[in-house]
Amino acid sequence: MSESFTIRRAEPSDAKAFQEIAAGEKAYSNTMQLPWPSVAMWQQRCEQWPEHLHVLVAQSG
C-alpha cells in the first residue's frame, strides 16, 4: 500500500513542525544554530520569508 503526499508551500501554521524538527540533536549538531528553538521563533521566520524564497513541505494524506 502506498501513501500519498502533497507538496506545498510552507505556511506560518507549520511553525510547530519546523520547531520539532529543528530541536532534534542531529538537526542542529555542528551548526551555528542554538538548540531548542521556540515555536514563536519559527512562527516569526515563517511569516517573514520573502516571496522569492520557496520553502516547501510534504504533507501526508
For 55, the grid coordinates are: 520553502
User: For the chain, what is the domain count?
Assistant: 1
Q: Does residue 14 sit in helix, strand or coil?
A: helix
For 50, the grid coordinates are: 520573502
Q: Is the pLDDT of residue 33 over 80?
A: no
- Which pLDDT belongs to residue 1? 65
Put simply, whether the predicted model's pTM sits higher than 0.95 gets the answer no
